[in-house]
A and B are shown apart, each in its own frame.
Chain A
Amino acid sequence: MKSLSFSARDLICGLLFIAVGLFFGIQAYGLEIGTAFRMGPGYFPLVLAAILVLLGIIVIVQSTQLEHEPMGPIAWRGLLFILPAPIFFGLTVRGLGFVPSLFFTGLLAAFASTKMRPGTALLLVGGLTLFSVIVFSYALGLPFRRFGPWLGM
């Protein structure tokens, strides 16, 4: 048997398309499909899901033909600090209030970079928070509570 060599990138990409296609396809199959006159909620997504699976297969087939290039490094530290930042903001903006929530969100994000020193970070994020409060809360009057109920205020 001829030994196949795959481009990992395309292989993953194809598998991703197939997985997403199957996910939507299975969900859509559980919905009403309907007729061409009165299409149900599942009709159009089912067609799309099938196309996506097909495209995924094509990508995998092609993955044997193209030359590969390395995937490159992965930004683990970035993922670890950047992604939780908006989540943290969402979890605390109502409870802690806009000011502390934004401050810690900025601080969290700041540590995604190895170049950031704690002192700089505090200064930067403090200024950022001040700026945002002036612009968004005072100037634009967005309905944010500056300090939330968790702080007893």
Chain B
Amino acid sequence: MDLLNNLALGFATAASPWNLLFCLTGVLLGTLIGVLPGIGATATIAMLLPITFQLEPVSSLIMLAGIYYGAQYGGSTTAILINMPGESSSAVTAIDGYQMARRGRAGAALAIAAIGSFFAGTVSTVLVAVFAPPLTAIALQFGSAEYFSLMIVGLVSSIALAHGSVVKALGMVVLGLLLGLVGTDIYTGTPRFNLGILELSDGLNFVALAVGVFGIAEILRNLENEHERDVVIKKVTNLWPTREDWKAMTAPILRGTVIGSALGILPGGGAILASFASYTVEKRISNTPGEFGKGAIAGVAGPESANNAGAQTSFIPMLTLGIPANPVMALMIGAMIIQGIVPGPNVATEQPALFWGIIASMWIGNLMLILLNLPLIGLWVKLLTIPYYMLFPAIIAFCSIGVYSVNSNVFDLYAVAFFGLLGYGLAKLRCEPAPLLLGFVLGPLLEEHLRRAMIMSRGDPSTFVTRPISLILLLLAAAVLVVVLLPSIRKKRDEVFVED
């Protein structure tokens, strides 16, 4: 059978001692850098890209892919331990993961994240291997109208991210959408909302925003009342997930894997929604939705699995079409070109060893990561016993380096300070940052697809309901809205007293 032969070729390539070594180096480097606060997968790959140029093409890509997964694992670690997400996906993990850590369950949270990611990675690797071509064909059916409707589903669901007032959560989404529009209008090249600052002409930097509103704001909150409040986490109870934890995480991991795999295939921004979508689903079907935001296991297991599954399946458009689904993929395509491989529809037939080698290395990389990360949990948890006043100067220093290294742009550092202030202010007002972040990443996409869909239909808005996929998505959005709003109207929302 073809598939088996191909996979055998792939594993033979990826499991050569050299490639295993590069894969290991990649995941190690990725984990190391990803764990440093403020540096997510994209920044990590951009930083480490040059060191792969000297290698063989296959080894180089295997190592880059390793860095990518490694950075994602590492990014979740920082999100859980110190509430500092480096990517939009780990922003979701931070919501409940950090709360688990504060309750002394950092070890369990990290283990759940690792196990969920590994399971999702395994399943989606199989998906990539077996179904890549047909899935690509489906993804290409998505035009701008479909993406717009998909984003609407995402936005409507985002209300579930908040555990306080629905109106404030909506306000934060809209605020995020508006912040996402800062920069240059891609349709006309008109600069907007940039206050005449040239550095803002490509918009606000996501990393600066995330580090500011999550990380810096959290540090400030912890410094509010140093002497009275014990900012360091309660005593760590048990490192490993208990029997109940296993029960609680199984179903969310399965659902997260399905959601993430499906969304990751869409090159126009599907993977961004994966972790948000999974969180929403888990919160909605949970028997104890009140637990979310206070350290719900499903709130870590689901999104982490979805995120990793999406990261994996977002390789599909790259491998089958040569099209980058996200900035990381764009960097990998650049690396391929430098290696003398121009990615395109023929890579699978022209370079089977490379193509299948990468697929096989995905699974090997995930395996290495879980073997690497589970023992490390003890170490990470120890890190939390360092007094907080010794920890945060390091966090600030690494954030500064990380944010600066993305674009060598000092303006981004000023943005960190600004968003730190804004994030702190919003936290004092009980406005939560997660919906803001989702709005921020979706804002430009939403507008872009809306306007493009209208151009394509020559100004006829019925395009959103006459195209079947789009119509289905919009109906789904309406259904979600009803489900989300109903209980809040009926129960008069026992105004949740958030966190501390």
Contacts and interface: CB of A to CB of B under 8 A. Distances in A.
Is A in direct contact with B (CB under 8 Å) within the complex?
yes
Interface of A: 9-10, 12-13, 16-17, 20, 24, 27-28, 31-32, 35-45, 48-49, 51-52, 55-56, 58-59, 62, 66-67, 69, 71-75, 77-79, 82-87, 89-91, 93-94, 102, 105-107, 109-110, 112-116, 120-121, 124-125, 128-129, 132, 135-136, 140-143
Given A85-B396, A124-B393, A51 B174 contact: yes
Residue from A9, A55, A74, A79 having most chain B Cβ neighbours under 10 A: A55
Contacts of A27: 192-193
A9 to B, nearest CB: 5
Interface string B304-334: 0000000000000000000000000000000
Contacts of B417: 83-87
B410 A90 contact: yes
B18 to A, nearest CB: 21
Contacts of B410: 90-91, 93-94
Given A89-B400, A105-B396, A56 B171 contact: yes
Contacts of A75: 220-221, 223-224, 424
B210 to A, nearest CB: 14
Contacts of B290: none
The 5 A-B pairs at the shortest CB distance, nearest first, are namely A37-B459, A90-B413, A78-B223, A41-B185, A90-B410
B152 to A, nearest CB: 13
A106 B393 contact: yes
B396 A55 contact: no
Given A9-B430, A28-B192, A36 B420 contact: no
B231 to A, nearest CB: 10
A99 to B, nearest CB: 12
A77 B405 CA distance: 28
B170 interface: yes
A52 B223 contact: no
B404 A93 contact: yes
Given A75-B223, A90-B411, A45 B174 contact: no
A71 B393 contact: no
Given A52-B178, A82-B420, A84-B417, A9 B390 contact: no
Nearest to A116: B389
Nearest to B192: A41
Contacts of B226: 113-115
Nearest to A107: B393
Nearest to A94: B410
A105 B221 CA distance: 20
B178 A49 contact: yes
